[in-house]
Structure 1
């Protein structure tokens, strides 16, 4: 997925507005795999904050975290920081807490390094969420 002229990307963006939770969840999976994820970050944020079904939140967050990069983690932290619906906030917390990288030492170190980087992010909400996660590790 290259840019907004990519038909698959455009279809996934449109699917993010579907009334069907399964279609929105599938859109989250496709968008999370985008090469230039920053270009669809707003749509992904909306899927993470889906107030109608935490399945959409869960699938999208898991796909973003599976990228194992700063961009995916940043989008999940940004959504968690502003989640006002308790179910959605709890689901995002669960996805962050259950990231498979915590299961092994090396991968956990990778995640901690990314959190430390995001602890100085320009977005105060991302920064605060990263700092909160790091404080729980101590």
Structure 2
């Protein structure tokens, strides 16, 4: 079901506006697997900060972190940095803390390198969140 045609993306973006949390969560999981998430970054950001259900936040963040790339990690850190709802902020923090690379110990060095890369980036919110994660390692 990885149909990333223009029509497939339009459908996933439309699903992100659904009143049903499960449909929004599915849209987040789907959009997080897009080859290039830059074009849907705003929609993903909204799903990460879903004010109605932390299940949407959890599923979207988990799928983004499963990418194991800078783009996915950056998106989750950026949302965590601006999350104003305590439940959403806590859920994003939990997803970051439970990244399988921490839990299994496999590829943890890869994750640390990505955090250092983002800590040196231009976006102050992402930079601060990355530094916060790195500080916890000491």
Same fold, TM exceeding 0.5?
A: yes
**Structure 1 CA distance, aligned partners of 2:128 and 2:120?**
9
- TM-score of the pair, normalised by structure 1: 0.95
Aligned residue pairs total 137
Two-structure CA RMSD over aligned residues (Å): 1.3
CA distance in 1, matches of 2:44, 2:81: 14
Give 1:2 shift: 8.4
Q: Which residue of 1 aligns with 2:86?
A: 86
| Runs ≥4 residues deviating over 4 A | none
Deviations 1:69-128 (A, max 9, x none): 000000000000000000000000000000000134441111000000000111100000
1:28 corresponding residue in structure 2: 28
Pairing of 1:2-17 with structure 2 (within 5 A): 6-17=6-17
Residue ranges of structure 1 left out of the alignment (5+ in a row) = none
CA contact (8 A) 1:2 1:36 kept: no
Unaligned runs of 5+ in 2: none
1:31·1:44 contact (CA, 8 Å) conserved in 2? Answer: yes
After superposition, residues 116-127 of structure 1 pair within 5 angstroms as: 116-127=116-127
Q: Secondary structure at the match of 2:84?
A: coil
Distance 1:105 1:122, change over 3 A: same
